[in-house]
């Protein structure tokens, strides 16, 4: 699916999977697109982006059960890649901002026409990585001018069960209503479809809205109807690194990394002493408590 702003190719490549984000009705026409159910109209922006954002606010209802203590299941590990570097995706097409683990969890596309959606893609950062695994790439962003398709994760313009893979790299923390967005991910994924991405834990305020503990992230996925996630910490990347590099010494990466070394090393050593006395003081526990960010992998149920 090529990068073709303002042309019929963008619309034609997506027509079989898009729907009205307001009501879920079919869209007809070539610009403006008109919903056959509610009459809402959509078209192209002045810069040629296909604009399928909501034209007006939409009320959404989320059902939750309260009054019981529960913990959704999950798997947690440190530095666990699904396959070696370069086994499916060349390392040169993986953005550094995606971290050292995410690319290994991108599955090969199951069919030649399988679609992957990159939520909050900005300038289509995930395109080369996903296309290397055989996916037809669709970037979705709320307003980035270098994304051909504008849309809102809280009301995605895709049909039910139409997307084989959803990527959300460092964007879940930016969603105003994470559970609503995750339920939308669940809705658009094909049965057994994959949801992969990264999200922050002990990160400084970068202008986003949320942070996730391992347990909290698992509960969000469970509430959304996604399968129990695998949640992974990048080995050695901690809140010490994140706060020092991003907030303490912005634009001075090496200095920030050097400053973080002392408290991180002292903490690691202290936990090493603790392991001699208590086996629960493991490296896994250390990472879970002070990790900077997580890589996550989940799926839609098979049926």
- What is residue 165's predicted lDDT score, i.e. its pLDDT? 98
- What is residue 93's predicted lDDT score, i.e. its pLDDT? 97
Residue matched to tokens 């683990």: 101
- What is residue 2's predicted lDDT score, i.e. its pLDDT? 39
Burial level of 96, CB count in 10 A (0-12/13-18/19+)?
Answer: exposed
- What is residue 283's predicted lDDT score, i.e. its pLDDT? 85
Say whether pLDDT at 215 is over 80: yes
pLDDT band with cut points at 50, 70 and 90 for residue 51? very high
Say whether pLDDT at 138 is over 60: yes
- What is residue 70's predicted lDDT score, i.e. its pLDDT? 84
Task: Find, among 199, 238, 233, 239, the residue nearest to 75 by Cα.
Answer: 233
Mean pLDDT (the chain) is: 93
Say whether pLDDT at 5 is over 80: no
Domain spans in the chain, listed from the N-terminal domain onward: 8-47, 75-233+293-299, 239-287
Say whether pLDDT at 206 is over 50: yes
Residues 6+ apart with CB under 8 A from 27: 15, 18, 19, 20, 33, 34, 35, 36, 42
117-144: average pLDDT:
96
Residue matched to tokens 């479809």: 193
pLDDT band with cut points at 50, 70 and 90 for residue 7? low
Say whether pLDDT at 238 is over 80: yes
User: What single DSSP character describes residue 141?
Assistant: B
In 196-252, which residue ranges form alpha helices assigned H by DSSP? 214-224, 239-242
Both tokens assigned to 67? 């009054």
pLDDT band with cut points at 50, 70 and 90 for residue 289? very high
- Class of 75-233+293-299 in CATH: alpha beta
Say whether pLDDT at 6 is over 50: no
- What is residue 12's predicted lDDT score, i.e. its pLDDT? 87
32-38: average pLDDT:
96
- What is residue 9's predicted lDDT score, i.e. its pLDDT? 77
Say whether pLDDT at 4 is over 60: no
Compare 6 and 117 and report the one with higher pLDDT.
117
- What is residue 224's predicted lDDT score, i.e. its pLDDT? 97
pLDDT digits (tens, 9 = 90+) for 253-262: 889 989 999 9
- What is residue 8's predicted lDDT score, i.e. its pLDDT? 67
103-109: average pLDDT:
97
138-154: average pLDDT:
95
């Amino acid at each position: 699916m090529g990068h073709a702003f303002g042309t019929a190719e963008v619309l034609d490549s997506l027509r079989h999977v898009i729907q009205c984000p307001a009501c879920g009705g079919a869209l007809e026409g070539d610009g403006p697109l008109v919903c056959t159910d509610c009459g809402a109209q959509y078209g192209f922006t002045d810069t040629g982006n296909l604009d399928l954002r909501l034209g007006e606010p939409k009320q959404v209802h989320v059902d939750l059960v309260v009054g019981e203590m529960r913990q959704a299941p999950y798997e947690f590990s440190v530095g666990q890649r699904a396959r070696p570097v370069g086994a499916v995706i060349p390392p040169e097409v993986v953005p550094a901002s995606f971290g050292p683990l995410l690319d290994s969890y991108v599955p090969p596309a199951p069919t030649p026409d399988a679609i992957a959606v990159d939520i909050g893609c900005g300038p289509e950062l995930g395109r080369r990585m996903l296309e290397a695994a055989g996916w037809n790439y669709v970037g979705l962003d709320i307003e980035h001018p270098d994304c051909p398709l504008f849309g809102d994760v809280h009301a995605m313009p895709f049909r039910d069960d139409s997307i084989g893979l959803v990527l959300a790299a460092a964007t879940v923390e930016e969603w105003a209503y994470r559970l609503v967005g995750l339920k939308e991910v669940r809705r658009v994924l094909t049965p057994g479809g994959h949801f992969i991405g990264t999200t922050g834990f002990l990160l400084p305020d970068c202008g986003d809205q949320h942070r996730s503990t391992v347990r909290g992230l698992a509960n969000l996925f469970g509430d959304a109807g996604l399968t129990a996630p695998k949640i992974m910490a990048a080995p050695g990347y901690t809140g010490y690194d994140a706060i020092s590099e991003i907030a303490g010494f912005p634009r001075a990466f090496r200095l920030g990394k050097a400053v973080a070394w002392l408290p991180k090393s002292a903490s690691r050593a202290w936990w090493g002493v603790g392991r001699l006395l208590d086996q629960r003081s493991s490296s896994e526990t250390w990472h879970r408590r002070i990790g900077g960010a997580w890589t996550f992998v989940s799926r839609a149920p098979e049926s």
